[in-house]
Amino acid sequence: MRRFGIEPGLDRIRAALQREGRPQKSFDVISVAGTNGKGTVGSLAAALLQAQGRRVGLYTSPHLIDVTERFRVNGVPLSRAQVGPHIDRLLQLYHDEPLAGTGPGPKLTFFEMTTLMAAVLFEAEAVDCAVFEVGLGGRLDAVNAIDADVAVVTTIGRDHTEYLGESIEEIAGEKAGIFRRHAPAVLGIQEFEGARQTLDDAAHRCGATVIDTAQEACPWEVNSLEGRHRWTALNAVEALQGKPVRESVREEGFSRWRWPGRNDRLRRSSGEGMWLVDAAHNPAGVAALAKRLKQGSKGLAGIVWGGMKDKDADGVERLFEEQNVPVWGALVENERARDRNQLSRHVPRRLWRRAGRTSKLVVELEEEVDGDILVFGSVFLVGEFFEAMGKSPGELVTYRTG
């Protein structure tokens, strides 16, 4: 699929959903917006729902290897055979030349198209509930054309300021656009009081039922990302079903959950040691990664870092200094990727080794370095890493059944 650009607004996607017979009305919906933790909270909520025996759709972005990862049912990406016919038909209607006798539909952007596909696919797969991860915004994001039964906003930080505004309050206001009258609005734990207050005010103004997770008694350590994301997901699921999730179900859902490429671990093929993989690509994500590394009992043997030049690199230099291990730069195959000089300038000279293509570095470091190696940065880097490790899209599940 081609990427069709960014054009904020809901008219096109609403018209397309209407033309498709409003497939989103066939299942319950939890929508999850925020700056960091959206995919984690969304996949955790889906895991809790699945642990209760529900058939669950999960729509997330971006994908790592293949677009089919955006459409999961019960934690497993749909296959090309399941997705392909719908892609062909919808592209024909909403991007390419219309099918004979059908008439053209509204021309959709890439994200609008995948959001429409998610609704159509989940109806075809007969899910009874679905979790939709909002894209970069909220109010004008394509997912907001799907009225949520429960709307969640995770931690707010500064990202995509060219679209959402410069201040935390402006960004929070855009994210709050997913709240609905008389529907639960779950406020994730916030780093900034201005964000929390903006979300609370917006929810009350629109007549939503506010659930502020910071005001509830959390059974986990809320200062840890894992604890706060679990807590937010649990509140969302309980708000959807109107009753508590049994403790045994919580344990099953959380124990079977995983989120590929985010705080992920893969055993190295060369012997002892692990690949630690994290798509920490903005300052808040890097700070969270640095905190986890500090709490870990085992030191790293090396780091592979690669990112996009239009993403803020704040925090990476401190992480490198704290870990004090060799650093290799990944030259990601993307026109927005940082080049050799743009990577090395953020690495202390004594720690910098060399830059290379992701697949080449994986092979070389398997031979050169013993111990745990961290791979972090852009989601494009993580996708290249998984491909280098021979992973297929179908392996990138968010719920283990075995």
Residue 317 lies in a domain: yes
**Encoding tokens for residue 315?**
């925090």
pLDDT for residue 285: 86
Q: What is the mean pLDDT of residues 68-97?
A: 92
Residue 329 lies in a domain: yes
Question: Is 124 in the same domain as 83?
Answer: yes
Q: Are residues 218 and 350 in the same domain?
A: no
Q: Say whether both 221 and 295 belong to one domain.
A: no
What pLDDT, on the 0 to 100 scale, is given for residue 397?
A: 97
Range of weakest confidence among 9-23, 126-140, 169-183, 264-278: 264-278
- Domain end marker among 257, 281, 305: 257
Read off the amino acid at residue 195.
A
Q: Is residue 401 part of a domain?
A: no
pLDDT in tens, 303-330: 999 999 988 888 899 999 999 999 999 9
Specify the pLDDT at position 56: 98
Please tell me whether residues 17 and 143 are part of one structural domain.
yes
248-255: long-range contacts at Cβ-Cβ below 8 A with a sequence spacing of 24 or more? 249/48, 249/51, 249/52, 250/48, 250/51, 252/51, 253/44, 253/47, 253/48, 253/49, 253/50, 253/51, 253/52, 254/44, 254/47, 254/48, 254/230
> Are residue 314 and residue 360 in the same domain, yes or no?
yes
Residue 193 pLDDT class (50, 70, 90 cuts): very high
* Same domain for 249 and 118: yes
Asked whether residue 232 falls in the same domain as residue 276, the answer is no
- Quick check: is 1 in a domain? no
Q: Return the CATH number at 99.
A: 3.40.1190.10
- What is the mean predicted confidence (pLDDT) over 288-314? 88
Residue 19 lies in a domain: yes
Buried b (16+ CB within 10 A) or exposed e, 143-167: bbbbebbbbbbbbbbbbeeeebbee
Q: Does 1 score more than 50 pLDDT?
A: no
Picking from 241, 257, 273, the residue at the C-terminal end of a domain is: 257
| Residues 189 and 302 placed together within one structural domain of the fold | no
pLDDT-derived band at 101, boundaries 50, 70, 90: very low
Q: Structural domain of residue 195, as residue ranges?
A: 11-257
Same domain as 116, residue 181 = yes
Report the range of poorest mean pLDDT among 91-95, 247-251, 263-267, 372-376: 91-95
Domain contains 113: yes
Last residue of a domain, one of 222, 257, 292: 257
